[in-house]
Amino acid sequence: MEITPGARRVLTNTAWLSANQITRLVVGLVVGILVARHLGPEQFGKYSFAIAVVTIGGSLSALAADSVVIREIVADPRASHIVLGSQFVLRALGSILAAGIVLIVSSLQHEISERVIVAVVAASLLLAPFEGIAIWFQAEQRPKAAVLSKTIAFLTASFFRLLLVLSGASVIAFAVLLSVEAALSAAALVMAYYGCGERLGNWSVSKASMMKLFRDSWPLLFAGVSSVLYMKLDVVMLNEMHGAYETGVYGAATRISEAWNFVPMALMGALQPVLLRAKRDHQALFIKRMEILYVCTAWASLVVAIIISLVSTSLVNILFGQEYQQAGSVLALHTWSAVAIYLGVVSSQYLLAENLLKISMFRTMLGLTVNIALNLALIPDYGAQGAAAATVVSCFVATFSLILFKSTRSQAASMMRAFSPLQAMKLFRSPRSIWTH
């Protein structure tokens, strides 16, 4: 089968993005483990708490959503300088607002060290507007330059993290390095942009463009904040209720269990065009492909969850050391969230193809609500294990909430059937041509 130039470009771009994700996964996991071993549970807990708070704050800065900026640049490439200038101002305003909120939160912490760590990491938020350059590269279908720039910055920062570990540096030094990494990433993106013959000085700001970007972005901003809260609020709540030590134990466990979550995301990134074409041309083929993906992800996630559950204690002792021994039971429980997450990522493709984004938002909000309620109920008595249990239950509730809607009930049923061995056997009997049309 001949590959068209357009398809080749898509495959190349997907390969670069996947390579970046894999690099960050492997290097980030290894370096993160070394940092955790060096800092110990309590200091690593403070570090994890600061990252969680700043990540939540950072979600508030996206006053110009990536997808909206890309849409505007693709629709009118001649207006790209106006779009880029306008999104920069919006993101700068959002970053200042986010940094202010984070600093207020940090001032409420009892320990001075936690206040300082959060404040130092919050400085990275002020560099977020430069991410607009990466969006431009994506809109131009030239992600290679942006990926290389950000990867170089990430690897440089990772090298310095290793030096900090070897030199016995304090947690403050690692917090400073997070902001330095953001500065390196911004500088690398600017250099790559200039290397393409572009100049920041050519950007201009339009009030009309700013209003349009914000008007079209606010629903996505709401969804983005909800998603980040869903992923990070458990760390914040655990730190507030049980302190830094328990947060460090939880952070060690989730570093392992969440490391594999990039797999379904990378897979869907590669298969999304195939699924959307099937939806457009052949509804029955689209449904068949969704069923096969449910089976693949259900069984893959089950295998990962079972293996990690069985070796969780030994794995934690080997990777993090005896100080983190309590993380073994947390990992054995938290890893089961992968089953719901994998299926949730796949089913989101159905919601996208059928333009059921309101249901997608409902699912996120439901998961967030259940997660908060369970954290409040379980963390006081069970600590990190309670937070892990809350995550698992809320992920399953969110993923399978599709059963509540008539338009998605069939997909919920397909996800449930995916765990049947008979469905798995059907997968191997499916003709290869099902993915080539």
Secondary structure of the chain in HEC code, one letter for each residue: CCCCHHHHHHHHHHHHHHHHHHHHHHHHHHHHHHHHHHHHHHHHHHHHHHHHHHHHHHHCCCCCCHHHHHHHHHHCHHHHHHHHHHHHHHHHHHHHHHHHHHHHHHHCCCCHHHHHHHHHHHHHHHHHHHHHHHHHHHHCCCHHHHHHHHHHHHHHHHHHHHHHHHCCCCHHHHHHHHHHHHHHHHHHHHHHHHHCCCCHHHCCCCHHHHHHHHHHHHHHHHHHHHHHHHHHHHHHHHHHHHCHHHHHHHHHHHHHHHHHHHHHHHHHHHHHHHHHHHHHHCHHHHHHHHHHHHHHHHHHHHHHHHHHHHHHHHHHHHHHCHHHCCHHHHHHHHCCHHHHHHHHHHHHHHHHHCCCHHHHHHHHHHHHHHHHHHHHHHHHHHHHHHHHHHHHHHHHHHHHHHHHCCCCHHHHHHHHHCCCHHHHHHHHHCCHHHHCC
What local confidence, expressed as pLDDT, does residue 230 receive?
82
Q: Tell me the mean pLDDT per 10 residues along the chain, length 437.
A: 52 65 85 95 94 91 82 83 93 93 86 90 92 84 79 93 96 95 94 90 91 84 82 91 94 88 69 68 82 89 93 94 93 94 88 81 90 96 95 94 93 91 69 48
10-17 contacts: CB < 8 A, separation 24 or more?
10/273, 12/144, 13/141, 13/143, 13/144, 14/269, 14/270, 16/143, 16/144, 16/147, 17/143, 17/147, 17/266, 17/269
pTM of the model: 0.83
The torsion defined by the Cα of 66, 69, 72 and 73, in degrees rounded to 10, comes to -100
| Terminal-to-terminal C-alpha distance of the chain | 10
- The Cα 380–Cα 386 span in angstroms is 8
What local confidence, expressed as pLDDT, does residue 433 receive?
44
What local confidence, expressed as pLDDT, does residue 274 receive?
67
What local confidence, expressed as pLDDT, does residue 428 receive?
58
Domain locations in the chain?
Answer: 1-205, 260-437
- The Cα 335–Cα 24 span in angstroms is 20
